[in-house]
Amino acid sequence: MGPAQRARRMMRRFVPIAAATALMAAALPASAEEPASARAKGVDCARVKCIALTFDDGPGPYTAKLLDILRAHRTKVTFFLIGGRVEKDPRTARAIARQGHQVGNHTYDHPHLTTLFDDEIRDEIARAQDAIQAATGRRPDILRPPYGDTDARVGAIAAEFGLSQIVWNGSSRDWELQNAVAIREKVLGLAKRDRVVLMHDIQPATVTAMPKILTALEKKGYHVVTVEKLLRGRRLNAGETFPVGGWN
């Protein structure tokens, strides 16, 4: 048998196997190929159930572990970083951005903004903007006022920086619960389409709870996304607060 004949015989054997493999792959549902949150990049939150998980007060000692968990689930979330902590740990802040998560400003020192004078508010926002840009190469376009403490004056000053304000309409209360099982049950109880959930990556129990939280949300058909993705392409105005009727 010549080389050409052997090649043709090998092709006859290979083609049916390849075709069968392709058919089997095509028959698999999308959920069997990857978790729901893994497809968040191309998801349309107008058509499917989305939920935005947001993490405040980092970077902290548990943030790197959280990033590993999110990477394993191919999930993107929103981090609101404190400028002073970013200056102390720019490497982790940089890793957050490089992994594709949305990054927001959470002020420099985490004060109650409504208790400050105007220039003090500007200083808190500006120093955090500078620290985050130095670490990640990007300036945030969203601000989360610490404690959700904002008013028209804070909103107007945020607008000077081109920042919209992101609050929440579901809180994990992880700083209070301090228990992974309780935090998981709280978050799953909050699960609702288009909800913005407040969490903290500085809480070890929160990070411990995350794998089971993500798995449970995926099983319930939720796509875990960033706030930006949840907005479905809508650009918030500078100073605008989202979601409306927040702080739950």
Label residue 5 by pLDDT band (50, 70, 90).
Answer: low
What count of Cα atoms within 13 Å lies in the side-chain half-sphere of residue 20?
Answer: 5
**Together in a domain, 97 and 129:** yes
Our CA dihedral for 247, 147, 135, 87, rounded to 10 degrees, sits at: -170
Same domain for 10 and 91? no
Catalytic residue among 56, 89, 141, 174: 56
Residue 247 within any structural domain of the chain: no
Question: Each residue of 98-109: pLDDT tens digit?
Answer: 999 999 999 999
Q: Are residues 79 and 147 in the same domain?
A: yes
Please tell me the distance from the alpha carbon of residue 209 to that of residue 69, in angstroms, as a whole number: 10
Question: Rounded CA gap, 165 and 153, in Å?
Answer: 12
Instruction: Please state, rounded to an integer, the average pLDDT across all residues of the chain.
Output: 88
Give domain status of residue 158, yes or no. yes
Interval 28-71: pLDDT, tens: 333 333 444 444 567 899 999 999 999 999 999 999 999 999 99
Q: Which is catalytic among the residues 73, 101, 110, 200?
A: 200
Q: What angle do helix axes 204-219 and 63-72 make, rounded to 10 degrees?
A: 10
Q: Domain of 127: which CATH number?
A: 3.20.20.370
Count of positions (residues) in the chain: 248
**Where in the sequence is the domain holding 226, given as residue range(s)?**
34-242
For residue 41, what pLDDT is reported?
61
Same domain, residue pair 152 and 226: yes
What are the tens digits of pLDDT across the range 21-30? 444 343 333 3
What 3-state class would DSSP assign to 143?
strand
Q: Reply yes or no on whether 109 is catalytic.
A: no
> In this predicted structure, what is the pLDDT of residue 208?
99
User: 160-206 pLDDT, tens per residue?
Assistant: 999 999 999 999 999 999 999 999 999 999 999 999 999 999 999 99
How many domains is the chain partitioned into structurally? 2
Residue 18 pLDDT: 43
3-state secondary structure of 178: coil
Element holding 53 (H helix, E strand): strand 50-58
Q: Does the residue 164 lie in any domain?
A: yes
Q: Is residue 195 part of a domain?
A: yes
Q: What is the pLDDT of residue 2?
A: 56
> Has 89 been annotated as catalytic?
no
The answer on 100 and 13 residing in a single domain is no
Q: 142 by DSSP, 3-state: which? A: strand
61, two tokens: 């000692």
HSE-CB at 144 with a 13 A cutoff on CA atoms is: 31
- Run of H or E including 175: helix 174-177
